[in-house]
């Protein structure tokens, strides 16, 4: 793994080229966690779990960073499986969840109160369950009650453990017979490993897409759009910018934007800090890309400066994961440009403390 490619680490020009200052600011080594995503996924895909029977549906219960892996798989599996997969955020199980549903309880810390609430409700309904956690109350309860448990390595920020969580969920989905997702993820993991070499801090800004994008987003409020089947990529960009760079950011779907938000952009005269960002997967088929370009052009004619970013990848799942990796690096470089440590999320910790 190459993180800093230059042996001579004297500052070049600008904060994104000053590797020594970057290391000093990143006190909790968020960069290493971001770069470790492909390695996490590779390791997790080697795990196994025993799940009995073929469920009629899968509900993946999680919050925040622990839920994103489920989003990725739900979007992807919709095109390759007849069995519905849904992500549940909150404290209520959908009415359709029952005895023939596989419910994945996902909490990186193992102490997410919403997940533990739904664990009890799923148990009352007689659901088949599998738990994914690094420890905490969820892991302890699953072990005591003989619920299948996939234990992921501890010590990371939940948002930085995506590779482990995604891989664990994929192992459970394949073990249930719902969808053969592991092979495609393994291929995508190789592409992600190649991509990170082009996004690492040692690659100069003029050759580094993540650094160039971060410079465009600096001082802006990005609103990130992606096609519906890639909506998780846009959402992940948003949340990583929120948490790593401590910036406001929002996300939405295309073509849904054409039926509402386009009016606000074109006729509402948003301030100069608002920046529409369009993620365009090259693996996306049909005329969607052409129609997205029409929306981009309309915005340009309204004197906006939308940013269009192509997501590489030979398959949809590859484009999704490579897009997520790009966004993770962008959020990291935005944190460096702002002069903030990307790891701490003080307000989330304070909120959780007050809710106890």
1 pLDDT higher than 80: no
Domain ranges of the chain: 19-27+196-338, 40-180
Which homologous superfamily is 19-27+196-338 in? Glucose-6-phosphate isomerase like protein; domain 1 (3.40.50.10490)
Cα 155 to the center of its chain, rounded Å: 18
The CATH number of 40-180, from 3.30.70.580, 3.40.35.10, 3.40.50.10490, 3.40.1280.10, is 3.40.50.10490
User: Residue range 224-250: average pLDDT?
Assistant: 97
Tell me the per-residue pLDDT of 39-89, one tens digit each, with 9 for 90 and over: 999 999 999 999 988 999 999 999 998 999 999 999 999 989 999 999 999
Instruction: Determine what percent of the chain falls in helix, strand and coil, rounding each to the nearest 5.
Output: 50, 15, 35
13 pLDDT higher than 80: no
* pLDDT for residue 352: 86
Structure tokens at 139: 């892991």
- Give the largest CA-CA distance in the chain: 62
Is there a common fold for 19-27+196-338 and 40-180? yes
User: Residue range 321-340: average pLDDT?
Assistant: 98
């Amino acid at each position: 793994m190459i993180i800093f490619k230059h042996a001579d680490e004297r500052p070049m020009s600008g904060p994104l080229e000053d590797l020594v200052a970057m290391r000093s600011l990143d006190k909790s080594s968020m960069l290493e966690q971001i770069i470790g995503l492909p390695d996490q996924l590779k390791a997790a895909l080697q795990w196994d779990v025993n799940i009995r029977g073929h469920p009629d549906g899968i509900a993946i219960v999680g919050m925040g960073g622990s839920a994103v892996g489920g989003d990725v798989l739900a979007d992807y599996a919709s095109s390759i499986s007849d069995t519905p997969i849904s992500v549940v955020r909150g404290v209520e199980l959908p009415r359709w969840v029952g005895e023939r549903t596989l419910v994945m309880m996902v909490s990186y810390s193992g102490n997410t109160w919403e997940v533990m609430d739904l664990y009890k409700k799923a148990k009352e309904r007689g659901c088949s369950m599998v738990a994914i956690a690094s420890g905490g109350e969820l892991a302890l309860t699953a072990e005591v009650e003989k619920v299948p448990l996939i234990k992921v390595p501890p010590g990371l920020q939940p948002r930085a453990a995506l590779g482990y969580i995604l891989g664990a969920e994929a192992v459970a989905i394949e073990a249930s017979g719902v969808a053969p997702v592991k092979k495609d993820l393994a291929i995508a993991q190789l592409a992600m490993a190649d991509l990170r070499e082009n996004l690492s801090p040692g690659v100069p800004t003029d050759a580094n897409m993540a650094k160039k994008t971060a410079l465009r987003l600096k001082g802006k409020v990005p609103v990130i759009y992606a096609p519906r089947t890639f909506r998780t990529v846009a959402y992940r960009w948003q949340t990583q910018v929120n948490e790593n760079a401590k910036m406001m950011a929002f996300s939405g779907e295309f073509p849904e934007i054409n039926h509402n938000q386009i009016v606000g952009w074109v006729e509402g005269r948003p301030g100069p800090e608002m920046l529409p960002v369009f993620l365009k997967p090259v693996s996306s088929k049909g005329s969607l890309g052409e129609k997205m370009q029409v929306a981009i052009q309309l915005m340009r004619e309204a004197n906006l400066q939308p940013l269009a970013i192509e997501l590489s990848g030979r398959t949809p799942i590859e484009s999704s994961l490579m897009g997520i990796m790009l966004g993770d690096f962008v959020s990291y470089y935005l944190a460096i440009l702002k002069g903030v440590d990307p790891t701490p999320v003080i307000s989330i910790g304070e909120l959780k403390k007050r809710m106890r």
